[in-house]
Structure 1
Amino acid sequence: MNELLKVNYDSDRITLSARELHEFLGVKTKYKDWFPRMCEYGFSENVDYRLVAQKRATNNPKNPYTEFNDHEITLDMAKEIAMIQRSEKGKQIRQYFLELERKWNSPEAVMNRALEYSRKQVQALLQTNEKLELENKIKDQQLNELKPKADYYDQILQSKSLVLISQIAKDYGYGAPTMNKKLHELGVQYKQGGQWLLYSKYQNKGYTHSRTINITRSDGRSDVRMQTEWTQKGRLFLYELLRKNGILPIIEQN
């Protein structure tokens, strides 16, 4: 069968250009007047036809393209329009449409469309599965990245006892002098009378507890001194502060 007009099989039905049909039929009325008149026979937009904007090349360098309207119409609408024309061209194209419809509805064509639909469904499922698999891998990585932090939090929260700065420093691979100096640089504490004390803005927040301990001086004399111990709340405060300054506990370091 010779192709009289180009048709589209992209959707679940056959469609074609109304403007090309108008040209084939040899209608004398301009397309912009003819098509609205055809629609008066009971055709509905977005059901039987839809507007399609087209571009046409021109010889004007300043305006190389001009836009014009076309309409994509269903095969059923095209058949009725062809019948309305009552011309030899109308009869010819209607017979062409009937043959197209017969082939479209043949068992082989129906089976091919069903297979193609199934293939697209399988492809869509595979793409969805790949996307979900990638999302799961990203989530796994994020969880693995957050796990050390959660472990460290758990480690802190599980302990209810007070800790010395030497114990906290060990979490970061530091000694107590290095950690004390770092906290001083960060404006957390200052040293007075041999004891590290919090600056006023960090006092009364429950971060530390001072305890009096008995000591023996190098010359053998007994004495007492104050020892600053950190609460778990204070330990969490130090964790967040150090983390903001790029200092992570060993458990979170690469």
Structure 2
Amino acid sequence: MQELLTVTENSNHQQVVSARELHRALELTTRFSKWVSQNFDEFVQNEDFSPVTAVTQQNQHGGTKAIQDYALTIGMAKELCLMSHTELGKTYRRYFIELERKWNDPAEIVKRGYAILQDENAQLKIENSKMKPKALFADAVAASSTTILIGDLAKILRGNGVSIGQNRLFQLLRDKHYLISRKGVSYNMPTQSAMDLGLFEIKETAITHSDGHVTINKTPKVTGKGQGYFINLFLERLPQSVDKSKA
């Protein structure tokens, strides 16, 4: 079938044509903007037609300018042809009817469905390839037996594309109930839920003062499992907080 107008496919996998091209093809004497205002009220925007920007040559030196256009569904284009009450309108309406017939042929539907699946699979592979290095890094860290300070975890996260510093990470861990937020001796210590998950260990250091008395300094450290957990958390692969009841 000879192509009378340029037919494209929109993001909803519908055939669409340019309103300006159709207006020109029908050889209408009404100005385009007036034709639109006179006829488009019968249709639904973003269902029958969608506003788009076209580019046209402005002068002989190659200058261009942006102009308003519309992407019309084939169904709307058919009706506009009928509303033109011209022989050209009948010709183009028959053309659109034939386009629809071919588009709705079962073999064509299967072909389009297969093409859509191929596109989706290709996009999924691209996304997985982007995520894979970070995921492998997180899994490797999770197997590590080395514990680190929360400030060091912030550095690891920054190295993996997460914009965060030590203070902001402490605040986030408190907000998400991984660290205790109540002021007092337990402030910034891991919550019971976080300890049950094996995300932290607490390092105790005995400090002997000049008068002979001894105090115990407690420092939360992130386990290898915790490091992998929080990297995955920032990659949005895990829930965003722990059980508040055990905080």
> What's the Cα RMSD here?
3.3
Which residue matches 2:87? 88
Q: Cα deviation per residue 1:94-140 (whole Å; 9 max; x = unaligned)?
A: 11101111110111110101111221232233334334433312324
Asked whether the equivalents of residues 19 and 70 of structure 1 are also in contact (C-alpha less than 8 Å), the reply is yes
Aligned pair in 2 of structure 1 residues 106, 154: CA closer, same or farther (>3 Å)? closer
**How many Å separate the matches in 2 of 1:87 and 1:116?**
38
Amino acid in the other structure paired with 2:105: S
Q: Cα deviation per residue 1:185-231 (whole Å; 9 max; x = unaligned)?
A: xxxxxxxxxxxxxxxxxxxxxx32459xxxxxxxxxxxxxxxx8986
Which residue matches 1:67? 66
Q: Which has the larger radius of gyration?
A: 1
Structure 1: give runs of 5+ residues left out of the alignment: 163-206, 212-227, 237-254
Secondary structure of the residue aligned to 1:147 is: coil
Secondary structure of the residue aligned to 1:125 is: helix
Aligned pair in 2 of structure 1 residues 12, 154: CA closer, same or farther (>3 Å)? closer
Q: Once superposed, which parts of structure 1, at least 4 consecutive aligned residues long, lie more than 4 Å away?
A: 141-146, 153-156, 228-232
Secondary structure of the residue aligned to 1:27 is: coil
Which residue matches 1:76? 75
Which residue matches 1:103? 102
Tell me how far 1:144 sits from its aligned partner: 6.9
Structure 2: give runs of 5+ residues left out of the alignment: 150-199, 220-247
**How many Å separate the matches in 1 of 2:4 and 2:81?**
13
Which residue matches 1:125? 124
Count of residues in correspondence between the two structures: 170
Q: Cα deviation per residue 1:23-57 (whole Å; 9 max; x = unaligned)?
A: 000000010101111113x2011111111122223
Secondary structure of the residue aligned to 1:109 is: helix
**How many Å separate the matches in 2 of 1:33 and 1:2?**
30
Does residue 6 of structure 2 align to residue 3 of structure 1? no
Which residue matches 1:138? 137
Which residue matches 1:179? none
TM-score by length of 2: 0.58
Q: Cα deviation per residue 1:147-203 (whole Å; 9 max; x = unaligned)?
A: 3426xx95943x7xx5xxxxxxxxxxxxxxxxxxxxxxxxxxxxxxxxxxxxxxxxx
Amino acid in the other structure paired with 1:44: V
TM-score by length of 1: 0.57
